[in-house]
Chains A and B, each alone.
Chain A
Amino acid sequence: GQNIDQPTEMTATEGAIVQINCTYQTSGFNGLFWYQQHAGEAPTFLSYNVLDGLEERGRFSSFLSRSKGYSYLLLKELQMKDSASYLCAVRDYGGATNKLIFGTGTLLAVQP
C-alpha cells in the first residue's frame, strides 16, 4: 500500500529554522517532492530529491534517505509569509505514467 506521513501541525518563530519530516512507504519510488500550499490555492513546487542527500534551494533545503524512507524539508530565516501547508509527495511508478501521491500535509504557523 501507499503510506506517506507528516506531522499535522507545527509552530515556529519568525527568523528561526524549522524542519518538517516525511516518512513514506510506497510500492515504487521515482523521486520525492515538496510543495507549499496556501489556503484556497494550488500547490507550488519547492524542492525535489531523487538521490540520497541534501538539495538546497535558497531558504529551502530538502534531504532524502531512500533506505530509510525518510525526507525532511528545512526552512531557514522563517518569514510570516511562510505560514502555509507543506506537502510531501512521492512519485510512484504507474507503468508508463508516474503519479504523485501526497502525504497528509503539515500546517506550519509562523509566529512573530
Chain B
Amino acid sequence: GAVVSQHPSRVICKSGTSVKIECRSLDFQATTMFWYRQFPKQSLMLMATSNEGSKATYEQGVEKDKFLINHASLTLSTLTVTSAHPEDSSFYICSAKEQGLHTEAFFGQGTRLTVV
C-alpha cells in the first residue's frame, strides 16, 4: 500500500504554545487528507477534511481557529494546534487519499500530543 508519513510521533508542549503536525504522502499525490483525533480507549473522531489548494472542511464542534489546517501541496498537509491546553492532549492521526471516489485512504503513524 501507499505510504503516509506523520511527524512528529510524539510531542510534549507547554500550555499556551502552538504545535504543528505534518502529514506527508510519500509515493502518491494526496488530493484529500483527513485529520482525526482519538482519546484513550475511544474511536477515531474526524476533525476535518482538507483538499489541496482549498480551505478545510471542519466537522461540527471542531474549532477552526484552534486547529489550523493547511494543505498547500499534493504531498503535505499540516495541522497546527494553537494555544494548546491540557485538554488538547490526544492522539492525532492523518490519512491521505488520491483523487477519486473509490480510492483508499492510508493512515499516518499518528502523533501523541501531551500538553503540560
Contact = CB atoms under 8 A, between A and B. Distances in A.
> Chain B: interface residue count, which band?
20 to 34
A98 to B, nearest CB: 6
B25 to A, nearest CB: 14
Interface of A is mostly: loop
A104 interface: yes
Contacts of B91: 40
Contact of A98 (B41, B93, B101, B110): B101
Contact of A100 (B1, B41, B101, B105): B105
B82 interface: no
B58 to A, nearest CB: 12
Contacts of A57: none
Interface in A66-112: 87, 89, 93-94, 96-105, 107
Interface in A22-44: 30-31, 40-44
A97 B6 CA distance: 21
Contacts of A43: 44, 93, 107
Interface in B41-66: 41-46, 49, 51, 57
B10 to A, nearest CB: 10
Interface of B: 1, 6, 32, 34, 36, 41-46, 49, 51, 57, 91, 93, 95, 101-102, 104-110, 112
Interface of A: 30-31, 40-45, 48, 50, 87, 89, 93-94, 96-105, 107
